[in-house]
Amino acid sequence: MSAAGPAALAVSWWSSPIDRAVNGGGATDTYFPRLDPAAFAARGVVPMGHAAFAFVLGVALGLVIRRTLPAMATTFAVQAAVQIVVPLWIRPHLAATARTTVPIKPDGAPISIQDGAKQIVTHLEVPPVLGHLVTGLEVTRIRDVGAGAVALASDGASVRADAAVLASGAWLGGLAAPFGVRTPVQSGRGYSFSLPPDGLPTRPTYFAEQRVVCTPLGDRVRVAGMMEFTAPDRPPDPRRVQAIVNAARTLLPSADLTRRTDVWAGPRPCTPDGLPLVGPTRSPRVHVCGGHGMWGIALGPLSGKLLAESIVTGRRAPEFDGAASAAVRDTVSRAGRPCDAPELG
Ligand SMILES: Cc1cc2nc3c(=O)[nH]c(=O)nc-3n(C[C@H](O)[C@H](O)[C@H](O)COP(=O)(O)OP(=O)(O)OC[C@H]3O[C@@H](n4cnc5c(N)ncnc54)[C@H](O)[C@@H]3O)c2cc1C
């Protein structure tokens, strides 16, 4: 027990950031590390409980069998059987089964990830008093010039504004690092392809176990899935597409998966703990808005609205003071207070 105690505490300490990240992974993530059979037995005081049980079992069997080696072997066998039987067949019956039904509103039309932003930008109306919309620039650097921020582009152009918001998705790190943002934003790429609708769901459908989503879009159905951690600009890996095809084949036996078109891979901007990065950097004129991972379409507009309000009014939105602001606080505290030492140049 004295060995199991420190070992269990060390494992719990080491794995706590991973457990927090997995638990913070989103509402569709059905994996909870502390209740997972393997993780439950390896965290906190549970290993000490197992060690105590093995000790008492060994003593009891020793009293009954009265021979050292057979008693040790029997203790080992019983303890191993308990480790298998309890998590697999007994523990699941200790908690009531939870069932949740989530109705999908009939007026909630799905949008295409690839075309959604383009459609929004196409219809964006910028009032003349706010300036004009600039598109097609690849920003290589942001400069804080004291009274404002300047975006420098690869073609030599520059755009000046009162404030800059870095919202460059999985590419956020390069532009944000000079402003003290240390939280990495990693590209977790998803894949999708389109199929004719025959044999496919007629409503948006999420197959949670296989992590495959079918979304009717126009006259096609988009099939999406996968989380691949790699550089955002790499070409799609055909093996990842095949993995989705293999997973979908058992779910959708009457669909013709060979007729796929529009094979696409796109980066989800992921932070280590799953929380978005929204707020000021070391410079009060340069802000970040990103790291929404799997939820950027749903959460991005709200983050943008709250951030815009806080930039204009100078008051932090109360929504940033809850759990979702942990990453913001992390950014700010590691970068220095927002008003400290603005990055000039
Ligand atoms: C398969 C798949 C399914 C998804 N499903 C959902 C879903 O159902 N619901 C949901 O809410 N979210 C979903 N997401 C996640 C969502 O797409 C992302 O969270 C969201 O796109 C992130 O938005 P963003 O603006 O931060 O980054 P992005 O959408 O990646 O936009 C960043 C933009 O910045 C540009 N950029 C980068 N660097 C520069 C630079 N230096 N200069 C100029 N421009 C630059 C990029 O070209 C890009 O256009 C899904 C993602 C994938 C891949």
Substitution site in 294, 302, 303 for ligand 1 pocket (most atoms within 8 Å of beta carbon):
294
- The predicted-structure confidence for 90-102, as pLDDT tens digits, reads as follows 877 776 766 666 5
| pLDDT for the residue 100 | 60
- The predicted structure's pLDDT at residue 126: 73
- CA of residue 113 to ligand 1 center, whole Å: 8
pLDDT digits (tens, 9 = 90+) for 192-239: 999 999 999 998 888 887 889 999 998 999 999 999 999 999 999 999
Global pTM? 0.70
The residues with which 160 forms a beta bridge, in sequence order, are 150
pLDDT confidence bin for 250, thresholds 50/70/90: confident
CA of 57 to the centre of ligand 1 (A): 56
Backbone angles phi and psi of 147, in degrees to 5: -95, 5
Which protein residue's CA is at the shortest distance from atom 2 of ligand 1?
A: 190
pLDDT of residue 108: 62
Residue range 120-141, pLDDT digits in tens: 777 777 777 777 788 889 999 9
pLDDT at 19: 79
Look at residue 286 and tell me whether its pLDDT is greater than 50.
Answer: yes
The CA radius of gyration of the chain, in Å to the nearest whole number, is 26
Which region among 10-19, 42-51, 102-111 has the lowest average model confidence (pLDDT)?
102-111
Q: Can you say how many angstroms the Cα of residue 249 is from the centroid of all Cα atoms in its chain?
A: 26
CA dist 258 and 195 (Å) reads 9
Sorted by where each starts, the structural domains of the chain and their CATH numbers stand as 4-94 (no CATH), 118-185+273-335 (3.50.50.60), 186-270 (3.30.9.10)
> 3-class DSSP state for residue 344?
strand
Residue 25 pLDDT more than 60?
no
Q: Residue 174: which of 141, 144, 137 has the closest Cα?
A: 141
Q: In angstroms, how far is the first alpha carbon of the chain from the final one?
A: 59
pLDDT of residue 228: 94
Q: Which of 5-9, 73-77, 129-133 has the lowest mean pLDDT?
A: 129-133
Q: Give the tokens for residue 331.
A: 């950014």
User: What mean pLDDT comes out for the span 64-79?
Assistant: 94
- The pLDDT of residue 251 is 86
Average pLDDT value over all residues in the chain:
83
Q: d(Cα 87, Cα 97) in Å, to the nearest integer? A: 16
